[in-house]
Amino acid sequence: MATKKLPVTRDKIVSMYMNFRLENNDKPKSVYQFAKSNGFEETEFYSFFASIENVEKEVFKIFLEKTVDLIQKDSNYEEYDMKTKMLSFYFTFFELLSANRSYVVLSLKENKNQLKNLMQLSALRTSFKNYVSEIISDDIRIKIEKLQEIQEKAIQETAWIQFLLTMKFWLDDESPAFEKTDIYIEKSVKLSFELMNIAPIDSLIDFGKFIFKEKIQTTK
């Protein structure tokens, strides 16, 4: 009796791709080669991805999706403040990275041109910024409607830069169980929330209103 062929899924293609990279120490030369070596049709690949490069980007996006899924299973998650949610995200994400370290190091240190390596993180960047936007708490949001979007984007971009710096630290971390990365995460996240103080921004807005008012009065 013939064995029923299991359907190809997005996650399976990503898993196959990671295994291919590790086993061959190289990328597939083409979608055809990749599909044939894994026993499925090229057309099945294109049902999920337009190119091999898209699969590379999806790997890190899936790491984020799995991270969010795991931390949200905690019954206390919704009660956490933004700082605690961020710490939970970081520790879980880097546990997943550590479990797949061989692939991550291979892919992110592949090119001497760091920009090419970072292009793999474009989908991760979008998903990460969306996650940050979702967990921004009301006490951090700027109450002035016109500046709220600008401030949220600033928080997202700052968080992304911090995230990249943490990944760089982790890639270079040679401590047992990457314990130095854990310390780095605690200290960097704590510092970022200490710096995320809206009082100076409120003062700047107030000063701006004063200057505007004075300007109007002097032109009358």
- What pLDDT digit, counting tens, does each position of 114-163 carry? 667 788 999 999 999 999 989 886 666 554 454 566 577 888 888 899 99
- What pLDDT digit, counting tens, does each position of 12-51 carry? 999 999 999 999 998 999 999 999 999 999 999 999 999 9
Burial of 34 (0-12, 13-18, 19+ CB in 10 A): buried
pLDDT for res 129: 94
Chain centroid to CA 6: 31
Show Cβ contacts of residue 201 under 8 Å, excluding neighbours closer than 6 positions: 142, 147, 151
E strands, 95-204, in order: none
pLDDT for res 191: 82
Global pTM value: 0.81
Rounded Cα distance between 115 and 186, Å, is 27
pLDDT band of 79, cuts 50, 70, 90: very high
Structure-block tokens of residue 210 = 């004063």
Rounded Cα distance between 83 and 187, Å, is 12
**Please, are residues 159 and 97 in contact by the beta-carbon 8 Å criterion?**
no
**Please, are residues 21 and 103 in contact by the beta-carbon 8 Å criterion?**
yes
DSSP string covering 35-70: HHHTTS-HHHHTTT-SSHHHHHHHHHHHHHHHHHHH
